[in-house]
Chain A
Amino acid sequence: MNDVPTASQTVGPFFSIGLSHLWVRKTAPSDATREHVTIRGRVLDGDGVGVPDAILEIWQRGENEGGASRFRRVATGEHGEFEFSATKPAMAREADGSVHAPHFVVTVFMRGLLRHLVSRVYIAGEAANADDTVLNLVPEARRETLLATPNETRDSEFVWDIRLQGAAETVFFET
């Protein structure tokens, strides 16, 4: 048997009915010795207007089993705002030589998106960013769209907006 995957369709405006049971902004730290980060920002449409009906799924690489603790699902608020917290991902170097700076994979769903978008958020200032295999695929001028920048007034808090269109359009990946 050989079949192409079933086609995607939009999540529509009413997804909270089916998906809100899994809203997870944060979980209790599984390892209190590791640094936690909070990432907050807004999802903005082509007019720069906040998207009030987007849903983000955030994933931190690792073993699938037990992975539910490294999964977050958040919906945007009235002005497109979102926030999640998690253990800061570790830097990884793989057998093939690839380097993976701390990052989260972010999957974006909303009314108007017939297929979800896949992006990544990295932490500005991490030394490993310069060697990150995926960041280096991105034209230099667009790399900063994937960097969460420190909130000067709150430790361990970072700001990252998702811009769907425009000059500073966030980088999305074809996977």
Chain B
Amino acid sequence: MANLPVFEKIKAGTQPEYLHPAYRSSVKRAPTQALILLAHTLSERSGPVFAQNAIGAHDHDLTAQHAGPPLGERIVVGGKILDEGGRPVRGALIEVWQANAAGRYLHKMDQHHAPLDPNFTGCGRTITDSEGRYKFISVKPGAYPWGNHDNAWRPAHIHFSIFGDGLLSRLVTQMYFPGDPLLPFDPIYNCISDERAKQRLVSMFDWQNTTPGFALGFRFNIVLRGREATPMEK
């Protein structure tokens, strides 16, 4: 187990608290007793590594998984997975899922009165390259209503699940879009008290990844817990 990364404790306010009453589902599901602080052992520091060959040719392209193209505004979402020291996380498995352009998920529990798209599943996955980079092609997900409070709407978002180096860096998050007018009203986005940490969940419009005549680009860099055990001299 050479080169296991070093992990520090989470900085206050930069991660959500479990109980966030504005998000109603947290009330009966958040633990009520204090978590027990654990000195990290191999059990937490290690974690699964997924092989490149687990990824199919179209897995990163959510617009190419059916007979025809999905409806909606085509987008390219890309960025880097970095550790806390700014080093790329290579070989990280990223899984994404999202609603279609009308704001409807292909899921039996989604009863939103908006059309499904026969050409869109909303599922993608990829593995970061040697520089920690990833890229997905998709359509911009629609906003959709939910039952949390009166006239509640989720801002457009893409769910991200990432496996870095070991369980301690495991992250599931959501990527939002810049300028979304629903963000100030969303209890899930607003569960993070540190303003800067919150804003980092919002992707940036990205000319570099905007493909002429094809798709708008959005950049979403993700920082995972941990850093290399022997940081470079400044």
Contacts and interface: CB of A to CB of B under 8 A. Distances in A.
Which of A9, A10, A98 has the most B CB atoms < 10 Å from its CB?
Answer: A9
Contacts of B47: 59, 64, 67, 71
A166 to B, nearest CB: 8
B27 interface: yes
B116 interface: no
A51 B25 CA distance: 11
B contact patch SS: loop
B101 interface: no
Interface stretch (B66-74, B196-204, B207-215): B196-204
B28 A46 contact: yes
Contact of B40 (A103, A169, A175): A175
Given A7-B198, A13-B109, A107-B167, A172 B159 contact: no
Given A7-B192, A12-B159, A68-B49, A19 B97 contact: yes
Contacts of A155: none
Contacts, number: 236
Interface string A104-131: 0101011111111110100000000000
B172 to A, nearest CB: 5
19 contacts: A1-B82, A5-B84, A5-B169, A9-B188, A10-B23, A10-B25, A13-B107, A17-B105, A17-B121, A18-B96, A18-B125, A46-B32, A61-B43, A62-B42, A65-B49, A112-B30, A134-B43, A171-B33, A175-B44
